[in-house]
Amino acid sequence: MIKRNTIQRAMVLDAVNKLKCHATADEVYQIVVNEHPNISKGTVYRNLNQLAEMGEIRKIEVPGNADRFDHRCHDHYHARCLKCGKVFDVEMDYIKDLEKQIKDAHGFQFSGHDLMFKGICPDCQKKEK
């Protein structure tokens, strides 16, 4: 059983790397099922979460929308289009230790941060014109 999971995990990782975007679990599933029709959606979802826990991919939680999975694991920021919902990388320096600037932590012990900018992507801007 361990070997089977390793093969399935490799297939899921390969799909995330092929997509090279901030794919939803459904988008990853569509890539995997095209090549391996017998794989279940649950298997793909489970392996995506395991890969994220292992640090092989990055899980991006998008409030009100489906989680996204990023092939780039280094600390960086994202922007979400308010029209189409796509998620993009934002090219800016990562602010290390941003949590230390919090004035009242309300008892939290912070372990890091995610930052999601929002706006309208270039494709959706063109459609509006």
Does 97 lie in the same domain as 57? no
Per-residue pLDDT for 1 more than 90? no
Does 62 lie in the same domain as 93? no
pLDDT value of position 35: 93
How many domains would you assign to the chain? 2
For residue 78, give the H/E element and its range: strand 77-81
The residue range of the domain holding 32 is 2-69
pTM: 0.83
Q: For residue range 23-71, what is the model confidence (pLDDT) as tens digits?
A: 999 999 999 999 999 999 999 999 999 999 999 999 999 888 899 999 9
Does 59 lie in the same domain as 7? yes
Per-residue pLDDT for 3 more than 70? no
Does 11 lie in the same domain as 64? yes
Does 85 lie in the same domain as 62? no
